[in-house]
A = this chain, B = another copy of it.
Amino acid sequence: ANLVLLPGDGIGPEIVSEAQRVLEKVAELFGHEFSFSSQLIGGISIDKTGDPLPQETIDACKASDAILLGAVGGPKWDDPSAKTRPEAGLLKIRKELGLFANLRPIRLFDQLVDSSPLKRDIIEGTDILFFRELTGGIYFGESGRSGSGQDETAFQSMAYSVREVERIVRMAAKAAQQRDNRLTSVDKANVLEPSRLWRQTAARVMAEEFPDVQYDVVLVDAMAMHLINRPRDFDVVVTGNLFGDILTDEASMLPGSLGMLPSASLGSDGPGLYEPIHGSAPDIAGQELANPLATILAAAMLLRHSLSLLDEATAIENAVAAVLADGLRTKDIARGGKHIGTKEMGAAVVERLQ
């Protein structure tokens, strides 16, 4: 398989390189051929080419089987008056590759339950899979300004079409069938017209195509509450781009170990894009302090979702669990105890692969 690596900024390069070592070991053990090509994205790409997502990167991604991304951004490129910003590269690649579904599993490793800010009896056993719509909604809506002085007004439009809702709801419902067969759709239908269309469309798709899946709807404000006091009650959750941005970040705090959470962005066909959900953490870059496990788990998702290599994906996940069971920790999850470096952690996972 032909894999594109997008190391990006900050700790991106060091964590992607550990994930690459893990993938190389998987290839060796299971008899596959993975070829890797590294491409530019984000701040480093602005520095080198002026563009956070050069055409060359887009072309390489489109020709690939799957993409593994580190992280983009950093204070260096944060000037609000700058012509372009690293995040623009991220938004553009989602759109260019038609990656309309962002999958975020929120799961707790038993060994890390005590890292959670939540009490054990609330968080234990939490296992949610979020589907966030990623190429529509207010993110890509018409925007502009009018008027001046105190009357100057800025707007941006949230829009969803039946087609956009159908495809993400279908994908989420199919995933629910592989899990606990429950789907929750989150909207703000008591206030927003696009949410009303979302709710109607989702209800129809579920009734017509997935009558076996247990289905319910929750308002976004209520969901923000439920995630904190009864996270265990949810299986698969599907929602729009903006609500998904907020809710998945909220949910990502529940395990208390951001450095452990991967995500996948998928389209109907073509390559998927896989990445850790944490940021580029420029403050700790190059110091052997970054936790590579989220990126390594993103590589496992890549094997599962883009290459259909299920045993190989499970092998990586088991190796990560084994490393944790052996008490190995990077600084972010060590809770003040002994810790190892980025490369040591990558090597420990490689060692336990079989």
Contact = CB atoms under 8 A, between A and B. Distances in A.
A161 interface: yes
A143 B193 contact: yes
Interface string A129-159: 0000000001101011101011111111111
Summarize A's interface: helix, strand, loop or mixed: helix
Contact of A159 (B139, B154, B191, B198): B154
A33 to B, nearest CB: 38
A221 B245 contact: yes
A213 interface: no
Q: How many copies does the complex hold?
A: 2
A156 B153 contact: no
Interface stretch (A13-21, A117-125, A263-271): A117-125
A222 interface: yes
Contacts of A119: 117-119
Contacts of A118: 117-119, 228
A143 B119 CA distance: 42
Nearest to A252: B225
A319 B254 CA distance: 35
Nearest to A227: B250
A166 B153 CA distance: 12
A328 interface: no
Interface in A179-210: 188-194, 196-199
A246 B91 CA distance: 23
Residue among A139, A155, A160, A227 facing the most chain B CB atoms (10 A cut-off): A155
A172 to B, nearest CB: 18
A250 B220 CA distance: 10
A246 B228 contact: no
A162 interface: yes
A191 B198 CA distance: 22
Q: Give 9 nearest A-B pairs by CB, closest first.
A: A154-B197, A224-B250, A155-B159, A143-B193, A221-B249, A228-B253, A153-B161, A150-B163, A154-B193
